[in-house]
Amino acid sequence: ETFTLLPAILARLISSLSFPKSMRWMDLEIYFARPIHWILALFDGQVIPFQIGNISSGNLSRGHRFMAPGSFQVKDLGDYLRKLKNSFVIVNPEERKEMILAEANKAASEVSGNLLRDEELLETVNYLVEYPVAIRGGFAAEFLSLPREVLISVMQDHQRYFPVVDAQGNLLPYFIAVSNTKPKDPAVVVRGNERVLRARLADARFFFEEDQKISLAQRLEGLKKVVYHSKLGTSYEKVMRICRLADFLAEQIAPGLKEIIHRAALLCKGDLITGMVGEFPHLQGIMGGIYAKLAGEKEEVALAIYEHYLPQTAGGPLPKSPAGAILSIADKLDTIVGCFGVGLIPTGTADPYALRRQTIGIINIILEKNYPLSLSALIDQCLILLAEKIEQPPHTVKAEVLEFFKGRVQNILLMKELAPDVVEAALAAGFDDLVDLQARAQALHEFKKVPDFESLAIAFKRVVNISSGYGPGKVDREKFEHPREQALFEAYQIRKVKAEEKISQKDYPSALRELAMLRQPVDEFFDSVLVMADNEAIKANRLALLANISQLFFRIGDFSRISTN
């Protein structure tokens, strides 16, 4: 039965495959990444019969296009793998990767160097070749005067070469290319690769020398002609917003660095109109930092410019300097709020402005640096600066941005292996201060490990649930009818003072221990007192007491969201 179902399934499966770029050929109804020349399809040694266009399935496959171009019959999977390897095709990607590293390291060691390993490049090269062969080439030592970042970018990003470094990590004038064939005359292939790299390096040297003739400060005026986004203005306007937002951040976090941060913000986008960044866009920020330093700007200014695009991936390195961190937050937050303000909101399948990555970057910087910032106040400041650009009501934009941050910070806390219910409880109590949120979530997470946590949580949840919908209010001791009311009220007053002192010090573990002391009087209260009394005044007084206790719990988290058995 399986055999009879497979032809239709496989035909649909192949036709359903999608690629970033596809092409047509012969039968114009067929789209695929590349033309299909043959289809090998076997089940228990039998050919599964079906067609894609005019290509019929069979039991034939082929090896390396140049080193073993002929076809061969296949009996089963083992036979397939064995014959392909004999025909210079390594099917297993891990085996290919090991071959690449072994050959590349051997080639580098022959000039007393080491391979500068880059996982992304390794992954790319691994899927470009069927039978990897490492080839070592060289370039003129005079090019080593170019910035390290430029040399690596030319080799890795443009040419897909691996740079070679010495034992101290300094670049050597060599590279390792990975070929898909064993060349008959390796020297010819090496000369060809060297010639291409030499031209690239000459271009980079030209840009590097020409760019330095105009300083970043002089380029500021040129940013007025560069459109950042049709709805959000020019790059010059963005720089002005970044400056004001960075000033706002500096006042709160590092007032002593305000001059440094403002100068870095003013110059941070100047490299966008340099020849080097025009040729190597991913070096934006990096070249700005290098050019700033060469032009005599302060070291802190140059470093802040260099770092302000970090992190460039969701889990990538963060800015190390305070000025770089503040500038990074300002730049990213302006982008996020601006995009939300003009309706450029990420969807489940599209995020062209990398707003998720930039939001995660801001959160990670704030948490890493322990910056006590108000997210709400920062967004308000952005909205003021973008007032003439945004198309949505400010309160709508703010709500959407906050919800977007909430989703990202929730994922980050979960990735720190905090319990999902604990994260939800901490978030429900507010996330305006992200550092405070993390501290509360961690305290709750550890609190769950307390032996009698279950009974504590149940008691707290009873308080929260029964007082839900009732706001805290003044408790009238004259309306107490039962000694347990009086006992709970007195315990609450004592623990409130002590817990609030610990909360003000951000000592949430100690605050939770103080709140835990309320467990017994809460249990005794519920065992002895009917909250929903017939007398409305008595009932309201009891609910006010419970609502006050609930509000105290809520300073740390919403205990009703914590799972219990």
276 pLDDT above the threshold of 90: yes
Listed in order, strand segments (DSSP E) in 103-212 are: 114-115, 133-138, 162-165, 171-179
- Quickly state the pLDDT bin for 30 (edges 50, 70, 90): confident
The rounded distance, in Å, linking the Cα atoms of 33 and 36 is: 9
Checking if the pLDDT of 389 tops 80, the result is yes
Residue type, 436: D
Mean pLDDT computed over 525-536: 91
Can you give the pLDDT at residue 1?
80
Q: What is the mean pLDDT of residues 157-167?
A: 96
Spatial contact of 238 and 232, defined as CB atoms under 8 Å apart: yes
Rounded Cα distance between 528 and 535, Å, is 17
Using the predicted structure, report yes or no on whether residue 336 has a pLDDT greater than 80.
yes
- Taking the C-alpha atoms of residue 41 and residue 3, their distance in angstroms, rounded to an integer, is 11
Alpha-carbon distance of 384 to 339, in angstroms, equals 15
Sequence-ordered list of residues with C-beta below 8 angstroms from that of 221, at least 6 positions apart, any chain? 236
Residue 286 has pLDDT above 70, yes or no: yes
Closest CA to 317 of 269, 268, 365: 365
What percentage of residues in the chain have a pLDDT greater than 70? 99
- Taking Cα atoms as reference points, which of 306, 275, 273, 276 lies closest to residue 288? 306
pLDDT digits (tens, 9 = 90+) for 50-73: 998 889 999 999 999 999 989 999
218-415 folds as: Hypothetical protein af1432 (1.10.3210)
171 forms bridges with which residues in the sheet? 165
What pLDDT is attached to residue 28? 67
| 471: Cβ contacts below 8 Å, ≥ 6 apart | 547
Architecture of domain 437-561: Orthogonal Bundle (1.10)
CB 363 within 8 A of CB 408: yes
Residue found under tokens 């012969």:
26
Only one residue has tokens 């990444």, namely 33
The 3-state DSSP class for residue 315 equals coil
Residues with Cβ within 8 Å of 484's Cβ and at least 6 positions away in sequence, in order, are 521, 524, 525, 527, 528, 529
Q: At a CB cut-off of 8 Å and minimum separation 6, what does 235 contact?
A: 223, 226, 227, 228, 269, 272
Angular region, 249: left φ>0, alpha ψ -120 to 50, beta rest: alpha
pTM for the model: 0.88
Domain boundaries, the chain: 2-86, 93-207, 218-415, 437-561
For residues 134 and 176, the answer to whether their CB atoms sit within 8 Å is yes
Predicted pLDDT of residue 456: 80
Section 272-286 average pLDDT: 96
| pLDDT bucket at 27, cuts 50 / 70 / 90 | low
pLDDT for 413-427, tens place per residue? Answer: 999 999 999 999 999
Helix orientation angle between 536-554 and 483-504, rounded to the nearest 10 degrees: 20
- pLDDT confidence bin for 143, thresholds 50/70/90: very high
pLDDT at 173 over 80: yes
CB atoms within 10 A of CB 315: 12
- Rounded to the nearest 10°, the torsion over CA 309, 314, 316, 320 is 50
- Chain-centre distance for alpha carbon 235: 24
Q: Is the peptide bond before 311 cis (omega within 30 degrees of 0)?
A: yes
What is the Cα–Cα distance from 147 to 274, expressed in whole angstroms? 15
Length in residues, the chain: 565
* Torsion sign across C-alpha atoms 422, 423, 425, 430: positive
Q: Which tops the pLDDT comparison, 319 or 466?
A: 319
Average pLDDT over residues 507-519: 92
pLDDT per position as a tens digit, 237-256: 999 999 999 999 999 999 99
Per-residue pLDDT averaged across 470-478, rounded?
A: 85
Rounded to the nearest integer, the mean pLDDT of the chain is 94
